[in-house]
Structure formats: C-alpha cells, structure tokens
Structure 1
Amino acid sequence: MRIGIIGAGPIGTTLSRHFAIVGHDVSLTGLLVARTVRAVASFADVVVVAVPFHRHRELPVAETAGKTVVDATNYDPALDDRVRELDEDRITSSELVQAHLSGAQVVKAFNAIRWEHLRDHAHRDRFAGRRGIPVSGDHVRAKKSAMALVEEIGFDAVDAGGLARGGRKFQPGTPVYAADLTAHDLRARLHLAT
C-alpha cells in the first residue's frame, strides 16, 4: 500500500519507519512546500496527517478526495488558534478536519499515544504485551483500513466509535490520552465491552 504522511515531526517520522518496516511504500513531507504536500497526498492510497491541528486548513482537498485520511492531530488551545466550537465541546477536531477534507474519509488514530511509546512498543506479536491504540471514524471501510495499519505495526486497534462520540473518548484531557495501556485496559477505560 502507498502511505503518504504529512508531518515530519516525531509521530510522522516514527510511523513512516514502522510502515516501511512492514513493507508499505511510504512518502513523508512537512507542510513547508505545498507542491510536495499535494504530491504526497496524490501518491498515497492512505494519507496520515501528523501536523499541528491549526495547520489542517492547509491540507490538500482535491488530492485527498476518496481516500482514507488518518488524523493524528490534537487541538491544543495553548498552541493553536482558539476555536470556540472546540472550547465549548460542540464538535471534535477530527470533525473539523473532515469538514475541510470533505471528499475524504477521515479516521482518528495515533493521536493518543506518546511518540516514544509508538517508537518503543511497535512490532510486538499478540503474546508480548501489545499496547492498544484507539481508532474512531464514521466510514466503515476507512476505519477498517486504519485499524489494519495499527495491527500491522504491532499494536491492538480498539474501535472507539464514530468521529464525534468516539473521538471525544481519547482526545487530550481524557483518562486514556497518552496512557500506556493494553487493549483490554484501554477498552475498560473507554467503557467498551471487553
């Protein structure tokens, strides 16, 4: 599979290495050169967004249309432009990313794990204490695709529901955000059936 990663910070670069190890064709770029970002999105079957949340409006719309977009961003009022809808919990950051990328199928994943945990706990088999990663999305096929990627790099994907309700369960400030949990413990904290 061709995976395009927009965002060359710790999460983006760590994911690029993990996906390459399991055999995917990976292209990585930052948001500094718009042409390169568009080229990476055009190249990809799946696009991973790992940039500061306030940069989501710069993501290429046409080049992501019809594709699964994995949103690894988090809204941080101290760093991002204040967004009243988010501050008042009327919407989630991923719903805003989905609104901007209207032709894409946005799935939330890889935002609730510390990059060091992503680096250190990958590529484990099912009997070696795999960590859980929550995933939420409204498009069944796209969510299955994102969950398969989580599993391929040695984590257990935990379906947390849709973008609105599920996404709220693992955003910053929740009990599972940045927690280092097995899938069983993650499901318990998310109040899902175990």
Structure 2
Amino acid sequence: MAAHREQSGTDDLEPVRTLGIIGAGRVGKVLARLAREAGYRVLVAGSADPARIAATVAAVAPGATAAEASVVARESDAIVLALPLPRYRELPVDALRGKVVIDAMNYWWEVDGLRSDLADLRTTTSETVQRFLPQSRIVKAFNHMGYRDLDEEARPPGAPGRKAIAVAGDDDEAVRAVMRLVDALGFDPVLAGALREGIKLEPGAEAFGADVDATELQAMLDRFATSQRGLIVARARRDAGTDAAP
C-alpha cells in the first residue's frame, strides 16, 4: 500500500491550465468538450495519427488540439487516461514523469479478455497503472460515471441537482488538483480516499455507473465494506494477508 504524500500549507503544484487527454473515445471526447467549455487548453491523443482525428476533435471540442501522446504528456499540466485499460503499457513513461495522471480507465473482461493482472482483487487497476508509472502522480477519477451522464449532467457550482464524481489517490496535492478540476468541469468532487480505495469505483461496486449527488455518492462509498462486492474484496485481501480491506 502506497503512503499518502502529506502536504502542509499551500500546494506546490502549478494550477492546471492545459489538460491532456490520452484516448479519443467517448469519455475522452466528452471530457475534452467540458474542459474547453471551462476554459482549459486541451490536447488530445488517440490511437490514430493526430492528423486523422484533428477534425473530429475540433468538431466535438472546438479549440482542442490533436497531438501525439508524448506531446500531450509533455505539454499538459494534468493528463487524463481515457484509453482501453490493457493499453496502459503503451503510455509514454518518461514524458509522464512527475505529472498528475488521472486514471479514468476500467477493466472490462468481456472486451479486454480474462486478465489475471487486471482482475486481481488484492489490488486495484489504478495501483497497477501506478506501478507502471512509478514517477507519476496517479489519481483515480472520471471512471465511474457513464459518458452520457458526463456529457449531460455538468452544472455550475451550487446548482440544484449537481452530480458528483469521486476521487482517490495517494498524493494529497494531486488529489486536491483533480478535485478542483472535477469542480471546474461541472461536478461536485467527493474524496474516496487513498488509491487503493479506488476499488469502490470499479465495475461491480455500487458507485460504478452512479449518477447521483455528493451525499448519495458518499453513502455508496461508505456502504462498500458491507456490500457483496466489498465482502468479496475483503475476503480476497484477507486470504492474501494484505492490509485491511477498504
């Protein structure tokens, strides 16, 4: 279990001005649009040559720029990973060194195939990504709400019925930066805890797919330990002799 990087006083991180998105699928495009509407410079990388997706990116998120993944990583203050999870090993490790990296990916065994490394309940998929990117500041967010709800539910702060996005991470500064980003993009941020608590946001958990306000999302996170999924996770971790279940 990674320890929190405790911070005191003001954050040392520079404000996020340029948001990078690696993955030009549905979630990536929605987040690009929301970020542009919130005033961020947005860079998007897809699996295709940037020239091939430039028109699509510009149409969905006017003002966003298509670029190579390495360029997106180097030039962005924070980077969202919105590509299929098994492709995380294609990420530019060096270019992401020291960056706030937001893991919005999920493991879908029906699509991704049976992967023991991604289905291991003794850890989380975000911790797996963190091990691959040991010098990056991984934060789990934007994975548990469906792309249609992300697209339709953004609201200004304080608006009635504003929905919530949970955030989990071990680096307190990075977590605060991502929570500010969640708020800027139109959702109330809810702290889920350390990166290992991201298991509460993965497929199979009650919060996965949730389109609810902050109070209800917090209640879902609090119920995880006594849920069927939570009990399965706790048993797997207890049998493995790992730390107490989330």
TM-score (norm 1): 0.93
Range that drifts further, 123-132 or 31-40: 31-40
- Give the Cα separation in 2 of the matches to 1:167 and 1:189: 13
SS of equivalent to 1:189: helix
Q: 1:30 aligns with which of 18, 27, 46?
A: 46
- Give the Cα separation in 1 of the matches to 2:33 and 2:118: 32
Amino acid at match of 1:27: L
Compared with structure 1, are the counterparts of its residues 65 and 81 closer, same or farther at alpha carbon in structure 2 (3 Å cutoff)?
Answer: farther
- TM-aligned CA deviation for residue 183 of structure 1: 0.4
Which residue does 1:70 correspond to in 2?
102
Q: Does 1:173 align with 2:183?
A: no
Q: How many residues align?
A: 191
Q: Does 1:156 align with 2:188?
A: yes
Contact 2:107–2:119, Cα closer than 8 Å, also in 1: no
- Give the Cα separation in 1 of the matches to 2:176 and 2:84: 25
- TM-aligned CA deviation for residue 81 of structure 1: 4.4
- Give the Cα separation in 1 of the matches to 2:70 and 2:116: 29
Amino acid at match of 1:168: I
Q: Does 1:15 align with 2:31?
A: yes
Question: CA offsets per residue over residues 37-78 of structure 1, 9 Å max, x none?
Answer: 101111111011000100000011000100100000001122
Over the matched positions of the two proteins, sequence identity in percent amounts to: 39
Which residue does 1:3 correspond to in 2?
19
Question: CA offsets per residue over residues 9-38 of structure 1, 9 Å max, x none?
Answer: 111111111111111110011134598110
Q: Does 1:138 align with 2:175?
A: no
CA RMSD of aligned residues (A): 1.6
Q: Does 1:185 align with 2:216?
A: yes
Range that drifts further, 127-136 or 61-70: 127-136
Compared with structure 1, are the counterparts of its residues 94 and 88 closer, same or farther at alpha carbon in structure 2 (3 Å cutoff)?
Answer: closer
Q: Does 1:104 align with 2:120?
A: no
- TM-aligned CA deviation for residue 94 of structure 1: 0.4
- TM-aligned CA deviation for residue 176 of structure 1: 1.0
Contact 1:85–1:91, Cα closer than 8 Å, also in 2: no
Q: Can you give the 5+ residue segments of structure 1 that lack an aligned partner in the other structure?
A: none
Q: Does 1:45 align with 2:77?
A: yes
Which residue does 1:129 correspond to in 2?
161
Contact 1:54–1:81, Cα closer than 8 Å, also in 2: no
- Give the Cα separation in 1 of the matches to 2:48 and 2:91: 11
Instruction: Flag the structure with larger Rg.
Output: 2
SS of equivalent to 1:5: strand
